[in-house]
Structure 1
C-alpha cells in the first residue's frame, strides 16, 4: 500500500516539473527490498520476541495472540502505513493543485483532469480505507466486508491502471492490431 502511494506521489510530482531524465518512480530493486524486507523484519522480530503469538488464539480464530499485546505486531504497522498514506495523499493532491490550476479549460483537458482526480481518490480508497475496516473487526459483517474488499484490491488496481489508462485503452481499440 505504501509503495503504491509513494509511486503515485512521485508520478504526480513529476507532472509538475520538467525533467530531462524520465523515471517512472522508485527503482525496482528498492521496491522489492522495501516491499519484502520490511514485513520480513517486522515478522522476524515479532516471532523472536514472542513466538507463541502466532497461531490459534482461541478455539475459533487463527490470528495474532492478544497476550502481551502481540496483536500490535500487525496493528502498529497498519496504523503507521495508513498515516503515511494519508500524508502522501494530501501531498499528492497539493502537488496536483498547481497543475490543475495552470491547465487550460479545454474540454479534453478537463476530462483528463477529472480522470486523474478520480484515479487519485480511487487509489486512496484502495490503498488504505479498506484496512480501516480491518482495525474494526468487531462483528461478522465487518470481517466479511474487510475480506471481500481486500481480496479485490488487485481488481481495483487493474481498473485504475489498465481500464482507465488512455494508452492501454487506445491500443486495445486500434483496428490495425486485429488485421491478419
Structure 2
C-alpha cells in the first residue's frame, strides 16, 4: 500500500484472481487482452499462474510483488517444498526468480516434481551439489531457530543494557557521594571563615 493516490500496484496473485473472476463472469480472453493491451498468450499465462501451486504457498505470496517466473520455478517443487521456499522467501524479503532457483537447486531430488527434468546448476559436480544441498538445509534450520529465538534474545539484550545503565548510574552516585564527602571534610567552614 502506498499513500500516493496516483500509484496502484497489485500483486500478481491479486491480478490472477481478478482475471479469474472476469472469466467466470463471462468476459472472453480476447476482450481482456484488448482491455489490458496485452496479447492473449499473456492473459492465458496469467490465468494459469497458480496451476500446480498449493494453496498455502499462494496464501503466503498473495500480497508480494514478484515475477510470474517465480511461480514457474515453484511449480517444479512438491507442495511441502513450495511452502518451505515461500516461507524462506517471505522471511528473507527476497521473492525473486534467482532466489527461487537457488532454493530449487538446493532441494533434494525427492522434493522435486520431476527430478529428471530439473536443471542441474552449471559448473557443479554431483558431490558439490550434494554438499550444497546439505549446507542449505542446515542453514535453513539455523535460520528458523534464530527466527524463533530472536524476540527473546532481543528482550534479554534490552534488559541487560538497562540493567547496566542502572548499575553504572548507581556506581556514579556512590562515587559522587564519596568525592563530595572528601571535599566537605577538606574545606574548613569554621566561624572565622564567615567573618571576613
- For normalisation by structure 2, the TM-score amounts to 0.25
Question: Which has more helix, going by share of residues?
Answer: 1
Larger Rg: 2
